[in-house]
């Protein structure tokens, strides 16, 4: 059984801030958002957690092993260094989407994302113990993206193909399994999953090919932290590349379930 600790990071009252006293220069907002993401990625990455930028004003982190004190330090440090503050809601569940739902709910019950009185909420539950099977992470990548897209099409048309694969996969895994999938650059998508057999990943790859005609391969790993599971997934993806297979489970025998 998987146990996922999810932290929702939400910039406080960001919408009004972006237009007060008048609309702010777009590239200044982009700089702020990407620096904030980079800072949070560095802080959480050093603690073996993952964070995904999603919409930038809200980010989703997988924080197994990161306790309440560390969350408080992150929040304080951002408040000290940025013109904005963040609220953090954390929850634990077997399915990633249920953990996110509960984490989100903690912030939503305190107030709106655009309530100027709702500032630096820190509300959550944290795993006290972790085990090596808590997280299952899948690292998807487009087969031969360079040869099929990058070296043949213009960058925008390549982007359309990759984003279509992402949209198809994220929706399928969310609806079928309660998994959370994130585009992480290039042709790569990382999915935080509940306990799924090898056949579920083969079905996901087949779905995307049928739906949008993009061929994926996927490595799957387990671990006590996002880094541990994600790193195992990267090694499994290397096995796909070496063996020409579309699904590999790290450390698992080469048989389907
Ligand atoms: N975030 C992330 N991006 C990666 C990673 N590996 C590769 N990329 C990105 O993906 C792009 C394409 O690289 P590859 O996936 O190795 O290339 P490919 O042509 O699809 O080749 P195969 O995956 O071997 O089929 C690179 O330019 C990077 O932007 C990774 O581990 N993480």
pLDDT exceeding 90 applies to what percent of the chain? Answer: 94
Which residue's CA is minimally distant from atom 29 of ligand 1? Answer: 186
Instruction: Calculate Rg over the CA atoms of the chain.
Output: 19
Distance 140 CA to ligand 1 centre (A): 10
Which residue's CA is minimally distant from atom 32 of ligand 1? Answer: 188
* pLDDT in the model for residue 13: 94
| Rounded Cα gap, residues 255 and 84, in angstroms | 50
Which atom of ligand 1 lies nearest, measured to the CA of 143?
25
Cis bond before residue 90 (omega within 30° of 0)? no
Domain annotation for the chain: domains and CATH numbers: 4-124 (3.30.70.1230), 135-249 (3.30.70.270)
Residue of 145, 159, 161, 234 to test ligand 1 pocket, by largest number of atoms within 8 Å of CB? 145
Residue of 53, 161, 185, 231 to test ligand 1 pocket, by largest number of atoms within 8 Å of CB? 185
Least confident window among 58-62, 73-77, 112-116, 249-253: 249-253
Residue 20 pLDDT greater than 80, yes or no: yes
pLDDT tens per residue across span 51-89: 999 999 999 999 999 999 999 999 999 999 999 999 999
Distance 147 CA to ligand 1 centre (A): 12
Which atom of ligand 1 lies nearest, measured to the CA of 187?
10
pLDDT tens per residue across span 120-156: 999 999 999 999 999 999 999 999 999 999 999 999 9
Residue 243 pLDDT greater than 60, yes or no: yes
Mean pLDDT value across the chain = 95
Residue 254 pLDDT greater than 90, yes or no: no
**DSSP symbols for the chain:** ---EEEEEEEETTHHHHHTSSSPPPHHHHHHHHHHHHHHHHHHHHTTT-EEE-TTSSEEEEE-TT--HHHHHHHHHHHHHHSSS-EEEEEEEESSHHHHHHHHHHHHHHH--TT-TT--S-EEE---S---TTSEEEEEEEETTHIIIIITTS-HHHHHHHHHHHHHHHHHHHHHHH--EEEEEETTEEEEEESS--HHHHHHHHHHHHHHH---EEEEEEEESSHHHHHHHHHHHHHHHHHHT-SEEETT--SS--
* pLDDT in the model for residue 252: 56
Average pLDDT over residues 95-119: 95
Which residue's CA is minimally distant from atom 30 of ligand 1? Answer: 188
Residue 91 pLDDT greater than 80, yes or no: yes
52 DSSP β-pair partners: 60
Q: Which of 169, 138, 146, 145 is nearest to 248 (CA)?
A: 138
* pLDDT in the model for residue 110: 87
Distance 214 CA to ligand 1 centre (A): 15
Q: Tell me, what's the ipTM?
A: 0.93
85 DSSP β-pair partners: none
* pLDDT in the model for residue 12: 96
Supply the pTM of this predicted model.
0.95
* pLDDT in the model for residue 256: 43
Distance 133 CA to ligand 1 centre (A): 26
Residue 255 pLDDT greater than 60, yes or no: no
> Ligand 1 — pocket residues by CB below 6 A?
141-147, 184-188, 234, 241
Residue 211 pLDDT greater than 80, yes or no: yes
Which atom of ligand 1 lies nearest, measured to the CA of 186?
29
Residue 213 pLDDT greater than 50, yes or no: yes
Distance 158 CA to ligand 1 centre (A): 14
* pLDDT in the model for residue 257: 43
């Amino acid at each position: 059984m998987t146990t996922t600790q999810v932290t929702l990071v939400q910039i406080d009252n960001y919408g009004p801030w972006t237009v007060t006293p008048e609309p702010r220069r777009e590239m200044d907002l982009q700089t702020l958002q990407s620096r904030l993401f980079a800072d949070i990625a560095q802080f959480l990455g050093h603690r073996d957690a993952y964070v995904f930028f999603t919409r930038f004003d809200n980010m989703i982190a997988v924080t197994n092993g990161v306790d309440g004190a560390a969350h408080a330090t992150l929040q304080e440090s951002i408040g000290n260094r940025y013109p904005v503050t963040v609220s953090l809601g954390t929850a634990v569940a077997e399915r990633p989407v249920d953990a996110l739902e509960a984490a989100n709910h903690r912030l939503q019950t305190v107030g709106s994302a655009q309530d100027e009185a709702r500032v630096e909420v820190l509300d959550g539950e944290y795993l006290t113990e972790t085990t090596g099977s808590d997280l299952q992470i899948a690292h998807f990548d487009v087969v031969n993206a360079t040869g099929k897209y990058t070296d043949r099409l213009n960058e925008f048309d390549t982007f359309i193909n990759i984003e279509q694969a992402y949209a198809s996969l994220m929706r399928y895994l969310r609806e079928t399994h309660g998994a959370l999938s994130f585009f992480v650059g290039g042709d790569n998508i990382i999915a935080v999953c509940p306990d799924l057999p090898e056949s579920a990943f083969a079905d996901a790859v087949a779905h995307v090919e049928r739906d949008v005609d993009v061929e994926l391969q996927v490595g799957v790993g387990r671990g006590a932290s996002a880094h541990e599971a994600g790193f195992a997934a990267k090694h499994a993806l290397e096995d796909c590349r070496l063996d020409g297979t579309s699904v590999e489970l790290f450390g698992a025998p080469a048989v389907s379930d």
